[in-house]
Structures are given as structure tokens and as C-alpha cells.
Structure 1
Amino acid sequence: MKKQQGFTLIELMIVVAIIGVLSAIAIPAYKDYVTKSEASSALATLKALVTPAELYIQETAPITATTALDLIGTQKDANSLGVITLGANAIIFTFDDSALNGATLTLTRNDKSGWACAAAAPTVGTFPKIDGCVAPSA
């Protein structure tokens, strides 16, 4: 008689259970990682605009909501995760195509203390803590 080879049903069930437990741990951790990397990408985009914005302010006039973005060397869609707009001495990034949909990062210029970053929470969820930006309180 030939010896049969293969896996028993209980062995297969154990493997499926192990994969399920690992997935339950890995998927939320991955989502947090993606959210934090999206926030960091937006902050990097804004930080890259600080020097051109500062030069514009020093050489021309304060930044207002009507200042054209090309005057500080960018476009509203410079980052695929959202749009960039200008405010009163502020550069604003609004997330519209990411896990942080509805959240905003704002770099605001103060004559005495320089540029400061503040975050506003997304419509769903919380804003991750990232270095260099104050997250909204829960």
C-alpha cells in the first residue's frame, strides 16, 4: 500500500488561524504607517516652500489669500495627496486624496518667532504625531 502524503485538516486550520492573527496585527500598523508617511510628505512639501515664501515676503509684500502660488514657485497640486493654498502669512495644505482626507497642515509666519506648523484633524480619524508640527488635541 502507498503511503499518503499531505496536510490534515487541523494543520490547515492552524495555519489559517496564524495568518489571521498576524493580519489582525499587521493591517492596523500598516495603516498607521501610511497615515504618518502621508502627513510627513505634506509637511515636507510645505517646508520646501518656506524659503521662497520668505523671500517673497522680504522682497515684495506679505502673503495673502490672493497671492498667486507661482510667485512662491509652486502650484496648488504640487503634492498628489492634496492642494496647497495661501492665507494671511500662511501656507496651507489640505488633504483630499489620502487617509487624512479633510485634514489640514498650516505653516504660519510670525514676525517675531518665524514659521510655525499646526495641524487640523481629518473629517474621520485622528492626525498622527509628526516632528515639526503641533497635532490637534484629541
Structure 2
Amino acid sequence: MKKQQGFTLIELMIVVAIIGVLSAFAIPAYKSYVAKSEASTGVATLRALLTNYDMYLQENGEAPTDLTQIGSSSGASSSLGEIALTETSGATFTFQGSGALSGAVVTYTRSNAGWKCTSTIADDYKPKGCK
């Protein structure tokens, strides 16, 4: 008589249950990671424009009102949201889409002491330097 080899139904069900438990922890952690990385990317995109903003202000004596004035070839939008320049606040990044950051706004305000970051991003997702 041949000895049969393989997995029993109970063993397979236990494996499926273990995978379910692990994914119950992994999916929320992954979503949080994605939201944090999107927040950091949005802030970094905006932060990269601030040096050009300062240079334009020094050379022309007035704040830029259009992204093309400070050398942005990508225009006013990125894959995550919209960038806007204003005289009063400096620069803003508004997140779009259906993710955890949808509608959140990051604003860099210029003063004599430098740039200050404020945002409406939830505390769990705020990147360093913009708390």
C-alpha cells in the first residue's frame, strides 16, 4: 500500500487563518506608511521651490505669483496635488485624490526669521519639520 503525502484540510485552513491574521495587521500599517510617504513627498516638492522663491524675491523686490517665475517647469500640479504661490502666505500644496491626505493643505509662510510650515495633515502623518 502506498503512503499518501500532502496536506489535510485542517492544515490548509490553519494556514489560511494565519495569513488572514497577518494581513489584518499589515494592511493598516501599509496604508499608514503610504500616507506618511505622500505627506513627505508633498512637503519636499513644496520645499524645493522655496529657494527659488527667495531668489526671485531678492532679485525683483516682490514675491512671485506664478510658478514659471521661479523656474518650475512642471506647472502647478503634481501627481499628489496642486501647488500655489501667494504673496501673503508664500506657497501652498493641496493634496488631491481619495487617499488619507485628500484635501489636506501644507502652507509655507515667509517671515524675517525664515520659512514656517503649517499644515492640516493629521498628526499621525505629518512629516518632520512641519509639525
| TM-score, normalised via structure 1 length | 0.84
Distance 2:119 2:17 in 1: 40
Asked if the contact 2:80–2:95 (Cα under 8 Å) also holds between the matched residues in 1, the reply is: yes
Deviates more, 1:80-89 or 1:38-47: 80-89
Match of 1:105 in 2: 106
Residue 129 of structure 2 aligns to a residue whose secondary structure is: coil
Asked if the contact 2:89–2:107 (Cα under 8 Å) also holds between the matched residues in 1, the reply is: no
Match of 2:11 in 1: 11
Asked if the contact 1:39–1:130 (Cα under 8 Å) also holds between the matched residues in 2, the reply is: yes
Distance 2:98 2:37 in 1: 11
Aligned to 1:130, which of 121, 124, 127? 127
Residue 116 of structure 1 aligns to a residue whose secondary structure is: strand
Q: 1:2 offset after TM fit, Å?
A: 1.8
- Structure 2 unmatched runs, 5+: none
Is residue 69 of structure 1 aligned with residue 75 of structure 2? no
Q: 1:89 offset after TM fit, Å?
A: 4.0
Asked if the contact 1:53–1:72 (Cα under 8 Å) also holds between the matched residues in 2, the reply is: yes
- Structure 1 unmatched runs, 5+: none
Match of 2:60 in 1: 60
Q: 1:69 offset after TM fit, Å?
A: 1.3
Residue 116 of structure 2 aligns to a residue whose secondary structure is: strand
Distance 2:127 2:45 in 1: 14
Asked if the contact 2:57–2:63 (Cα under 8 Å) also holds between the matched residues in 1, the reply is: yes
Paired AA for residue 104 in structure 2: A
The percent of aligned pairs where both chains have the same amino acid is 56
Is residue 40 of structure 1 aligned with residue 44 of structure 2? no
Map Cα deviations across residues 26-58 of structure 1 (whole Å, 9 max, x no partner). 111110110000000011111111110001111
Match of 1:50 in 2: 50
